[in-house]
Amino acid sequence: MKKISSLVTIAILAGVISVGVTVIASASEHPDWAYPVNPASTAVVQADAGLQHVPNSAVAFTRKQFTTIADPIPDWHPEEHPAMPDIVFKGRPPQVFSCGYCHLPTGAGRPENASIAGLPVAYFKQQMLAFRNGERPGSEPKRAPQTTMIAMAKAATDAEIDEAATYFATVKPVSYIKVVESEVVPKTIVAGWTLKRAPDGGTEPLGHRIIEMPEDFERFERRDSRTPYVAYVPVGSIKRGAEFVATGGGDKLRQCAVCHGPELRGLADVPRLAGRSPSYLMRQLYDIRSGLRTGGVSALMKPVVVNLSDEDMIAIVAYLGSLSP
């Protein structure tokens, strides 16, 4: 009797363990480099050293002004975008933070969020609904930029979303991302929800990853909309991605340009892909393939991604990131 019950116990334990393993496996499948999470203890309080500057800007801001999400955003280059509606510039704190804090006044965005300049208004609004309805949770529940975006979509009114969508649709997309093929990359840590060159330096093999980071972390921290980025991609991936995108990997129904436009700059309500952050694009392909990103008309994308390998996706986003927007 004892023997049987201990067998049962073992069986139950084994069941529990295998369930546990499955859960862990699916939670850690997503590529960490595309979903960086700040370590718990990176918040370093820095002294406010007075007015700060960035290149080619006549204005100056204090550290508090560019690190406080509830304040009006630092607009370093007011000449490069139209006048911002309040929701983009100031938000409506404490419920809604300014869209421009994360996406920048130009909508150029940053690797941890999304470039949203020039997106079709209908697509933009549909995605706000998708965030609101739990249809874009993202693969990494600890990624605060994503959970904050979801909170913003829930708190913003339809009128505010309308204003933001109309504003960003009029701004011309730009990209400051340089895509570089390399076998070796600088070692990185995570800070500001993005990858950052490790303070101790050093290099490591890239392997099957993309390492995208600001070239100048100070400008990134100051939220300079012209911060340059580098995205290291595997050797040969740009050409491989170009071939895949052009031929749909040998499947006409997957040819990206049919839906995303001849230069991949968007078509009707379908969003542009050219010149966007490879990390952002990877998260989208990955989340659509895993079934986490639904909503909108994402059902049209599902057959495109369902049979892609991670390597295919890396090559595709390396190529798309290398195009001018």
CB of 268 to ligand HEC, least distance (A): 9
Residue 238 · residue 246 · CB < 8 Å: no
Nearer to ligand HEC, 187 or 190 (CB): 190
Residue 77, C-beta contacts closer than 8 angstroms, at least 6 positions apart: 56, 57, 105, 106, 225, 226
Residue closer to ligand HEC by CB (options 53, 172) is 172
CA–CA distance, 59 with 65 (Å, rounded to integer): 12
In angstroms, give the least distance from the CB of 42 to ligand HEC. 16
Q: Please, what is the minimum distance in Å from the beta carbon of residue 9 to ligand HEC?
A: 43
Identify which of residues 6 and 157 has a Cβ nearer to ligand HEC in the complex.
Answer: 157
Tokens (6 digits) for 162: 């309308």
How many CB atoms within 10 Å of residue 169? 17
Which single residue brings its beta carbon nearest to ligand HEC?
296
Q: Distance of CA 252 to CAs 258, 315, 318, Å? A: 9, 18, 21
Give residue 32's identity as a one-letter amino acid code.
Answer: D
Q: How far is the CB of 164 from ligand HEC (least distance, A)?
A: 4
Q: Which of residues 206 and 278 has its CB atom nearest to ligand HEC in the complex?
A: 278
Terminal-residue alpha carbon distance, the chain: 71
Give the CA dihedral 33, 124, 225, 201, nearest 10 degrees: 0
**Shortest Å distance, C-beta 280 to ligand HEC:** 6
For the CB of residue 247, give the shortest distance to ligand HEC in the complex, in Å.
9
Give residue 28's identity as a one-letter amino acid code: S
Distance CA 190, CA 188 (A): 7
Nearer to ligand HEC, 211 or 270 (CB): 270
What is the chain's length? Answer: 325
State in angstroms the smallest separation of the CB of 74 from ligand HEC.
Answer: 14
> How far apart are alpha carbons 102 and 37 in whole angstroms?
16
Which CB atom, from 87 or from 318, has the smaller least distance to ligand HEC?
A: 87
195: left (phi over 0), alpha (psi -120 to 50) or beta: beta
Nearer to ligand HEC, 164 or 230 (CB): 164
Q: Which residue ranges make up the site for ligand HEC (CB under 6 A)?
A: 87, 96-97, 99, 101-103, 112-114, 116, 119, 124, 126-128, 136, 138, 145-146, 148-149, 152, 156, 161, 164, 245, 248, 254-256, 258-260, 270-271, 273, 280-281, 283-285, 295-298, 300-301, 304, 316
16 or 300, CB closer to ligand HEC? 300
Of the pair 201, 250, the CB lying nearest ligand HEC is at 250
What are the tokens at 207?
């392997």
> Please, what is the minimum distance in Å from the beta carbon of residue 38 to ligand HEC?
13
CA distance linking residue 15 with residue 8, whole number of Å: 10
Among 237, 183, 235, 191, smallest CA distance to 214 is for 191
Q: How far is the CB of 291 from ligand HEC (least distance, A)?
A: 13
- CA dihedral (45, 49, 50, 56) in degrees, to 10, reads -100
